[in-house]
Amino acid sequence: MRRSKFSFHVIVVTAAIAYIYLSTVFVYIDQWFGLGSSPGMLSAAVYTFLAVTCIFCYRRAIFTDPGRVPTTFVPDVEDSDSQIHEIKRKGGDLRYCQKCSHYKPPRAHHCRICNRCVLRMDHHCVWINNCVGHANYKIFFVFVFYAVIACIYSLVLLIGSLTADTRKDSENADDSLRILYVISGLLLVPLSLALGFFLGWHIYLIIQNKTTIEYHEGVRAMWLAEKGGEIYLHPYDVGVYENLTTVLGPNILCWFCPMPGHLGSGLRFSTRYDNLIGSSTP
């Protein structure tokens, strides 16, 4: 039975987007420039574009399937084009999901919340009530990118509006407006900081071609490698540009467009050893 995509967290995010948009356009911009002025109309148009883009990306992140593992998938250990086969930490057997009753492709993991395996799983996000995986990672990333811009832009407009409001006669001061400024500040400042940090974190992961799960697994692998006198290298790190195109797509002009950019089926990924092994083959 398909799980509903609507949840308490989704409602909270939707309400926050609506509140920030309405207060930004009809309060901050209106108080600072006036909606009827040219700067006011331009600012309102720009912010409406950001809001619509955020809503579009958010909706797609919620309803886009992150990637299902085919029930017929079986790793071909004799395939010369596939240089890496991920194995279990204990026993060294090929990774097999007992709950889904099928083998796990490289970088796939079982989500206990979605109750299924997800291709190139990054994490399960309660704010979209969906897993972030191979097929919707770019959409999720672009949503966070535009959300950061929208929050910072709204914060700038709030400060400008507040500055313009303090210049007015104190007799015309509106207490309800002051309360709205306080609530908005308490919302926008921590939200901008949190989303900004989150965006920076995922930029780092994309550049390294890692998922959040692989990062934490890599920390342990690095510790074990250093303990054994070796150097750990992430196998899916194929260079900064190639890492970026793997997630954001081959067309650099579309990297921040709200459309899927993932390459391949999610069952096989390029590794840093492909060219090395290929060049050593006589």
**pLDDT average, residue stretch 115-134:** 96
Question: Which of 38-42, 186-190, 251-255 shows the lowest per-residue confidence on average (mean pLDDT)?
Answer: 251-255
3-state secondary structure the chain: CCCCCCCHHHHHHHHHHHHHHHHHHHHHHHHHCCCCCHHHHHHHHHHHHHHHHHHHHHHHHHHCCCCECCCCCCCCCCCCCCCCCCECCCCCCECEECCCCEECCCCCEEECCCCEEECCCCEEECCCCEEECCCCHHHHHHHHHHHHHHHHHHHHHHHHHHHHHHCCCHHHCCHHHHHHHHHHHHHHHHHHHHHHHHHHHHHHHHHHCCCHHHHHHHHHHHHHHHHCCCCCCCCCCCCHHHHHHHHHCCCHHHCCCCCCCCCCCCCCCCCCCHHHHHHHCC
Q: Which region among 8-17, 144-153, 159-168, 263-272 has the lowest average model confidence (pLDDT)?
A: 159-168
Highest mean pLDDT among 53-67, 168-182, 220-234: 53-67
- Please write the tens of the pLDDT for every residue from 41-53: 999 999 999 999 9
Catalytic residue among 111, 125, 131, 257: 125
pLDDT digits (tens, 9 = 90+) for 170-190: 555 567 888 999 999 999 999
- Mark whether 111 is an active-site residue: no
What pLDDT shows up at residue 2? Answer: 52
User: Which tops the pLDDT comparison, 26 or 261?
Assistant: 26
**What confidence score (pLDDT) does residue 278 get?**
46
Would you say residue 279 has pLDDT above 50? Answer: no
